Amino acid sequence: MPPAEPLAPGSLLIAIDWGTSSLRAVAMDAQGTILDRLSSGDGVMAMAGRDYAAVFQTLFGGWLARWPQAVILASGMVGSRQGWREAPYVSCPASFEDLARGIVTVPAGGGRLLGLVPGLVSLGDKAAPDVMRGEEAQVFGAMKLGGRQEGVFVLPGTHSKWVSVSDGRIMRFSSFMTGEVYGLLKQHSILGRLMPQGGDPPFAQPAFEAGCALALDDAGGALLHRLFSVRTQGLFERFTAEELPSYLSGLLIGEEVREAIWLLGERPELPVQLICRADLALPYRLALGQAGLDSGVIEDAAFAGLFEIARRNALLS
Amino acid sequence: MPPAEPLAPGSLLIAIDWGTSSLRAVAMDAQGTILDRLSSGDGVMAMAGRDYAAVFQTLFGGWLARWPQAVILASGMVGSRQGWREAPYVSCPASFEDLARGIVTVPAGGGRLLGLVPGLVSLGDKAAPDVMRGEEAQVFGAMKLGGRQEGVFVLPGTHSKWVSVSDGRIMRFSSFMTGEVYGLLKQHSILGRLMPQGGDPPFAQPAFEAGCALALDDAGGALLHRLFSVRTQGLFERFTAEELPSYLSGLLIGEEVREAIWLLGERPELPVQLICRADLALPYRLALGQAGLDSGVIEDAAFAGLFEIARRNALLS
């Protein structure tokens, strides 16, 4: 493949968060004011066998005509091997500038280029490299939005990420399969059969806190064992069917917090900065609180991150 | 419900291992010699809405006519709330005699009674009671077959059990959801998508040992994090698609062994007695060996356990 053409600076930014299951985008002026928004279900998973340039034209043709001077940046799985084109992982520690140097461009039609922001690889762990793609833009956005260049940033979710930041750089991070394991156990395991079918029942805070306390209290870690207690708590009617999903969630999020603190090697001094939707923030704040950690929440940081990547790298003028 | 009629002694034993997914039975004389065998797919799961007594007559009518003096005992989920009738859990510590006192009988047709061996509940854990049903007969059988009334007995499987035995009594035990979590991750998770579809590829010992070493080495336990390494080991081609199931298995079995040793509070002094099929024994023996523990294997202990329960309680004459 020929080396990609570099992005030219512009006076506006089209920022795209193009993930596995969906795509969200904003158009921003050089001051970061949002001019328009767009979203679509054409995530990378829905793109199998389709032409990225054609889908891009359909979605963004109007914006491209309206803003001929816009720089276009996309973060997320669109830059993976399964996406439009691979933007190879950049190694930690990584700054805004390191990330910008890893941008790979693709022709987006009409002579325009789209810049794919690379993901990050963290080699600090003895076991295996750890990777993220899309979350890096959110962490850089959260640094800007929160005015803090230090500390631990946490992105809860299917594969939660705990990210250590120092002096504005992402130093290292660890992934946790918390959300996916919760979904698997709830939908497909013997534990799920004890729970109400269909949607999630309301959050049961005492059950969540009981699960969480148990996980945090296990200095030696005992997740494979503790999971079985979901069954016995149901069998001995200590929790109702409606409370069991919250108990399971507490066991898993408590375990994530316990593992993460252990892997960090020290307790975070600054409040932990959560980056997530409001509905995930509550259980994580409770679990962090039970572990004696303060926390704050930033709800949506991807576009702020892409804006800062563009601005700090002289792509916006 | 009226109190159940007690079992009368007999000169033979029909021993039934009646679990969730299948049923196996033997007829034995008073010396334990096996006279006949029988198996069926009519496990408790297949019995929903059907009449136990009628199914029992269909399966065992011939044996009942042939051996009118046989005592009939069944262990396993047939004695659960979802089974024929509930034989309430007996608390640990529990001996052969304690188990026999908990036997609940049901009319099995033609004036005969069937004795349902109760499961055990272990209350030693701070979290929640732990339960087993069917495994208790196997552990008592393994004590007899192995000639050992002390030590740690392990039943690997969907929900592995680690059982502490002292002076011929089951003192306490812990369950681990190892097998079920492995199946869920392999069949339904993002990790499974990196693995060959269909049946299991051949066991890859180096990949298994790498996963196992990692899990055993994590003094703080980090399963939710380590699971993600299955993805990155694949992504960075450290293991092939064919090797990844063995790597995942090593992570999980290693974690089970690590958790179990931690929960026991001390390292077992005697060799760990595995009770399982030969195909599960290899990975468990490797994992135990990596943790510095010797082990032995007994393949099939349920019938020996039922025989001893009958013999020690004067039900066989």
Provide the 8-state DSSP code for A42. -
Q: What are the chain A neighbours of B231 within 8 Å (beta carbons)?
A: 131
Q: Which residue of B has its CA nearest to A255?
A: B224
pLDDT of residue B199: 78
* Confidence at residue A4, expressed as pLDDT on a 0 to 100 scale: 64
Distance from CA of B89 to the nearest CA of A (A): 11
Sequence-ordered list of residues with C-beta below 8 angstroms from that of A281, at least 6 positions apart, any chain = A156, A274, A297, A299
Tens-place pLDDT, residues A104-125: 999 998 899 999 999 999 987 6
Prior bond of A206 cis (ω within 30°): no
**For residue A190, what is the nearest residue in chain B, using CA coordinates?**
B180
Are B220 and A262 an interchain contact pair (Cβ–Cβ within 8 Å)?
yes
pLDDT tens for residues A226-274?
Answer: 999 999 998 888 999 999 999 999 999 999 999 999 999 888 999 999 9
The full set of domain ranges for chain B reads: 12-147+302-312, 176-298
3-state secondary structure of A246: helix
Q: Do B128 and A222 touch (CB under 8 A)?
A: no
What burial letters (b/e) apply to B12-48, b meaning 16+ CB within 10 Å? bbbbbbbbbebbbbbbbebebeeeeeeebebbbeebe
Print pLDDT tens along chain A (317 aa).
Answer: 555 688 999 999 999 999 999 999 999 999 999 999 999 999 999 998 999 999 999 999 999 999 999 999 999 999 999 899 999 999 999 999 999 999 999 999 889 999 999 999 998 767 689 999 999 999 999 999 999 999 999 999 999 999 999 999 999 999 999 999 999 999 999 999 899 987 789 999 999 999 999 999 887 789 999 999 999 998 888 999 999 999 999 999 999 999 999 999 888 999 999 999 888 899 999 999 999 999 999 998 999 999 999 999 899 98
A46, A20 contact by CB (below 8 A): no
Q: Which pLDDT score is estimated for B4? A: 64
Of A125, A180, A222, the CB nearest to B262: A222
Q: How far is A69 from chain B (nearest CA, A)?
A: 37
Query: Measured between alpha carbons, how far is B270 from A92 in angstroms, rounded to an integer?
Result: 47
Q: Mapped to the 3 state alphabet, what secondary structure does chain B carry?
A: CCCCCCCCCECEEEEEEECCCCEEEEEEECCCCEEEEEEECCCHHHHCCCCHHHHHHHHHHHHHHHCCCEEEEEECHHHCCCCCCCCCCEECCECHHHHHHCCEEEEEECCEEEEECCCEEECCCCCCCEEECCHHHHHHHHHHHHCCCCEEEEECCCCEEEEEEECCEEEEEEEECHHHHHHHHHHHCCCHHHCCCCCCCCCCHHHHHHHHHHHHHCCCCCHHHHHHHHHHHHHCCCCCCCCHHHHHHHHHHHHHHHHHHHHHCCCCCCCEEEECCHHHHHHHHHHHHHCCCCEEEECCCHHHHHHHHHHHCCCEC
Q: Tell me the CATH number for domain B12-147+302-312.
A: 3.30.420.300
Q: How far apart are CA B57 and CA B40, in angstroms?
A: 13
- Determine the topology of domain B176-298 in CATH: Nucleotidyltransferase; domain 5 (3.30.420)
Omega prior to B201 cis, within 30 of 0: no
Residue contact A190–B181, C-beta within 8 A: no
Q: Which of A127, A83, A214 is nearest to B255 (CA)?
A: A127
A225/B263 Cβ within 8 A: yes
CA distance B290 to chain A (A): 17
Supply φ then ψ for residue B46, to 5 degrees: -80, 0
pLDDT per residue over B88-131, tens digit each? 999 999 999 999 999 999 999 889 999 999 999 998 767 689 99
Q: Do B128 and A229 touch (CB under 8 A)?
A: yes
State the pLDDT at residue B3: 55
Q: What's the predicted TM-score (pTM) here? A: 0.94
Is pLDDT above 60 for B139?
A: yes
* Same fold for the pair A12-140+303-312 and A176-298: yes
**B223, A221: Cβ pair inside 8 Å?**
yes
Residues of chain A in contact with residue B214, where contact means CB-CB under 8 angstroms, are 126-127
CATH 3.40.190.10 correct for A12-140+303-312: no
Mean pLDDT of B11-24: 96
Contact: A188, B190; criterion CB under 8 Å: no
Largest CA distance in chain A: 67
